[in-house]
Chain A
Amino acid sequence: MLTLILYNVTNGLMLGAFYVLMALGLSLILNLSNVINFAHGNFLALGAYMALELTKVVGFWGAFLIAPLLTALFGVAVELLMRFVYRRDPVYSLLLTFGLAFVMQGLMLWWWGPTPQEMHMVPALEAPVSADLFFITWYRVFMVAIVIVTVIGVFAFLRYTRVGLRIRAGTLDLDTVSALGVNVKLLRTFNFTMGCLLAGLSGVLATGAIGINPNMGDDLLMPSFIAIIIGGVGSLTGTLFGGLLIGVTAALTAAVYPAASEVVIFVMLVLVLLIRPRGLMGEEGMLT
């Protein structure tokens, strides 16, 4: 019994780690630029497709390194369009990313076709860690390791570098940061690109568990969203906890009453909205 619980909690943490990666990217973009990136799931898919193509040329490890960067580059191009709408009512930036999601999905469908594709993984990674812990494959360990490294990297970056400091300041008061002489345009571009990089990385990591197709990121957008709201809008640590919480809850529910494993995160959302609308770690006044 205890082993079963432990198994499922571990499972949940691994699942949560993945949600954290997606949600973190979404959160970064949201906090600084006040933009909900509806195309985030499509960036994930793009990362996966880039990895698919690159594996044929530079092998798995090369693809793993380069695909997220290519996705980030695409993000730079997109952000240039976003500049037109930052100054205006938030509805425009929402619609822009909403339209972008359609465009990206349509293009990926057209270019790669509807048939799902498979990426060839390094065989060593596919095996489980041990016979008892059969559900922990080396791949999942790898994924969690990458997520941990990335999260630490992002937090350290925001904490200890000058650009990171400016981004953090910008999420609180972008006008003052601008008045202090910081190039806000570049800052936003950099931030958006970081978010897309994380989405692309998620995409590459996802190929180990799910097949590659134009719709693969669609079902990951909402959980990321909810992770952000539950954790607290404006707080990256909150997003971190939100993602892990969702992962663990979903996994535990899947062990007990599987059909509800999707709905349970919405139940949590309703609870949070009713009891503590600012989220677990959100601060009152963030992003009002």
Chain B
Amino acid sequence: MSKTPSSRIPRRTILRAGVAAGALQITSPFILTALGETPVKIGMVNPLTGVLSALAQSEVDGAKYAEAEINKKGGILGRPVELLVEDSANDVGTGVQKTRKLIDRDQVDVILGDVNSGIAAAMGQVTNEKKVFHIVPGGHTDTITGTDCHWNVFRVCNDTTMDTSAITPELVKRFGKKWFFITPDYAYGHSLQDGFIKALKKLGGTYDGDYLPINNQDFSATLIKAKGYKPDVLLNNMGGLTQINCMKQIVQFGLQKDMALGGALFEFETVKALQPEAQAGWWVMEWWWDQPKVPEVGKFVADYRAATKKTPSARDWFGYVSMHTVRVAAEKAKSLDGPKLSLTMEDMELPPDVALQAGKVRYRAGDHELMPSVFIGQMHPPKAGPDDVYTIEAAVPGDDAAGPVADTGCKMVHPA
């Protein structure tokens, strides 16, 4: 029996590699304590690989920037802050597993995540079970601060009701009441369209639309139908990368000549990926870097650009706010204990250099949703610079757009 070269595995090499890997695992938790005080650990779980990676990466960037900023100013409760980032790979199983890892192995005090609202909700179950404080920077589905609300979960980004009720009156006023929806067929898409329909009906509007597969590539059939319907406004509710494809095809078919374009969210990361002709329409931004009337914003943007060489988007801001929220809440509560932080956070206002917008920005007590202004404006090809692709026309206060807590379906139950 001859031994072919490929079967002579140098067992020593495998053993060495295994020992090295094992050693790394053992030593990593110990490395930081050698530096002095036990840090405040915050764990972020986000889909850094997969279709949501661009948005997730921005949130991580914002959080890392905040981490550096907080540490420069003395940390949280006098202790340094350490941000641990894990990839959920856009998969619930992985997201839940990493959450457990951060809590059990790394002993984090706070969990942040996930962009994917399904994963965020699943993580919420874990953090609730383990009584760990949890902030959702950018997962949009309504149930997180609605029917599935938990005492330990807070959210930064808006829910679909806020976005849709904010922009609907503006779109109706400018363009008309006959609308056509292009919506992805899953929970987020449904709640978005339902939100729009509710707001539209209040103003006496009519509508038609198509539910499409989440990752739909070709929109021709729907656009043929839309053209036939002759709406005043065509709403592109698709998410992420499919939103880009939809816009591209809308513009290629020349539909923007016959009808106005609009919708709820259009993320800055995806706006930049559009060709100039497709940068059109009226959209909601949950935060925008160009707010001339607010001085804190100008300073923040300048510092952020210097540090990261990019202009912050709403996602960067979500990550930034999440980290600073922990700092502000911990300092106010003088503790990192979950239930105490949670009580402190209710109706807590963010200071102006964190809120970075006009008005009072606070976490509503009833459902733990942050109430920033909802920005409404127009997307356009770059004017004053490559990032100047959106102009704010109006800002609706969050409370007005959100509607009463009772409508969200949230029954907040605090631990005894």
Listed in ascending order, the chain A residues whose CB lies under 8 Å from chain B are 4, 7-8, 11, 14-15, 105-106, 109, 113-118, 120-121, 126-128, 134-135, 137, 139, 209-211, 213-216, 219-220, 250-252, 254-255, 258-259, 261-262
A255 vs B254: C-alpha distance when bound (angstroms): 19
A211 vs B249: C-alpha distance when bound (angstroms): 11
The answer to whether B245 and A211 have CB atoms under 8 Å apart is yes
The answer to whether A135 and B223 have CB atoms under 8 Å apart is yes
Interface residues of B in 209-238 (CB under 8 A from A): 210-213, 215-218, 220-225, 227-228
The answer to whether A128 and B270 have CB atoms under 8 Å apart is no
Find chain B residues with CB under 8 A from A219 CB. 215, 217
Q: Is B172 an interface residue (CB 8 A)?
A: no
A114 vs B57: C-alpha distance when bound (angstroms): 8
Listed in ascending order, the chain B residues whose CB lies under 8 Å from chain A are 48-51, 53-54, 56-57, 185, 210-213, 215-218, 220-225, 227-228, 241, 244-245, 248-249, 252-255, 269-270, 272-275, 277
Find chain B residues with CB under 8 A from A120 CB. 275
B56, B210, B253: the one contacting A134 at CB < 8 Å is B253
Minimum C-beta distance from B387 to chain A (A): 13
Find chain B residues with CB under 8 A from A213 CB. 51, 54, 241
Given A214-B53, A219-B217, 6 extra CB contacts under 8 A: A11-B224, A114-B48, A114-B53, A210-B248, A258-B222, A259-B212
Identify the interface centre among A106, A120, A213, A252: most chain B CB within 10 Å of its CB: A213
Find chain A residues with CB under 8 A from B245 CB. 209-211
A-B pair number, CB within 8 angstroms: 114
Find chain B residues with CB under 8 A from A118 CB. 273-275
B210, B244, B249, B270: the one contacting A258 at CB < 8 Å is B210
Find chain A residues with CB under 8 A from B215 CB. 219, 262
A179 vs B406: C-alpha distance when bound (angstroms): 79
Find chain A residues with CB under 8 A from B244 CB. 116, 210-211
A14, A113, A259: the one contacting B213 at CB < 8 Å is A259
> Residue of A at shortest CB range from B242?
A210
The answer to whether A117 and B216 have CB atoms under 8 Å apart is no
Identify the interface centre among B51, B217, B275: most chain A CB within 10 Å of its CB: B217
Find chain A residues with CB under 8 A from B221 CB. 8, 11, 251-252, 254-255, 258, 261
A115, A137, A251: the one contacting B54 at CB < 8 Å is A115
A238 vs B327: C-alpha distance when bound (angstroms): 63
A41 vs B227: C-alpha distance when bound (angstroms): 32
> Residue of B at shortest CB range from A207?
B248
Find chain B residues with CB under 8 A from A135 CB. 220, 223-224, 253
> A4-B224, A117-B273 known; A261 and B248 CB under 8 Å?
no
Find chain B residues with CB under 8 A from A106 CB. 49
Minimum C-beta distance from A102 to chain B (A): 10
Find chain B residues with CB under 8 A from A117 CB. 273
A109 vs B56: C-alpha distance when bound (angstroms): 13
A137 vs B253: C-alpha distance when bound (angstroms): 7
Minimum C-beta distance from A31 to chain B (A): 26
> A211-B244, A215-B241 known; A259 and B275 CB under 8 Å?
no
A211 vs B48: C-alpha distance when bound (angstroms): 19
> Residue of B at shortest CB range from A220?
B217
Find chain A residues with CB under 8 A from B217 CB. 209-210, 219-220
The answer to whether A255 and B54 have CB atoms under 8 Å apart is no
B211, B220, B224, B249: the one contacting A259 at CB < 8 Å is B211
> A128-B253, A219-B215, A261-B212 known; A116 and B223 CB under 8 Å?
no
Find chain A residues with CB under 8 A from B185 CB. 259
A116, A137, A216, A252: the one contacting B252 at CB < 8 Å is A137
Find chain A residues with CB under 8 A from B49 CB. 105-106, 109
> Residue of A at shortest CB range from B51?
A215
The answer to whether B222 and A211 have CB atoms under 8 Å apart is no
Minimum C-beta distance from A227 to chain B (A): 15
> Residue of B at shortest CB range from A125?
B252
Minimum C-beta distance from B353 to chain A (A): 28
A117 vs B220: C-alpha distance when bound (angstroms): 22
Minimum C-beta distance from A246 to chain B (A): 12
